[in-house]
Amino acid sequence: MSVACLKNALLYYNIEKMNEGDIRKLSINQRIKLVREALKLNQRDFATRLSASHGLIAGIETGKPVNIRLIKLIASEFSVNEAWLSTGEGEMFTTNDDPQFARLLNAYKDLPPKYKTLIEKMIDILGQD
């Protein structure tokens, strides 16, 4: 289980949940912005992780066409479900069938907010190696 995958899953549980019908109505551009916000990244940091320009991400978030290469890159880099990104169907992040991962994620969901914040900081520190 990678630190990035764990971090993405933990952050997912901190965003407000929208119902699936509302998500399907969003454009792919809006779903890309939702991913970025769920990951708590600004446009510049999101672009850097994708080896893209800040201007490209800003343009996409305001309606510029999105190509399949970028969809695949976002899905790969951030463990995002490619189908969700393209159509709004399914879960935002890909799932992990590792039982230890599921146990950790369930334990995290039951923690008080102050402990969630502590764990997120620890994951950030571990991810810097």
Residue ranges of domains in the chain: 3-127
Predicted pLDDT at 14:
44
The C-alpha angle with vertex 47 and arms to 26 and 37, in degrees rounded to 5, equals 45
Give the alpha-carbon dihedral of 129, 79, 113, 17, to 10 degrees: 160
Q: What is the pLDDT of residues 36-92, one digit of tens each?
A: 988 889 999 999 999 999 999 999 999 999 999 999 999 989 889 999 999 988 888
d(CA 120, CA 13): 12
d(CA 20, CA 89): 7
Q: Residue 54, SS3?
A: helix
CATH topology assigned to domain 3-127: 434 Repressor (Amino-terminal Domain) (1.10.260)
- Whole-prediction pTM: 0.64
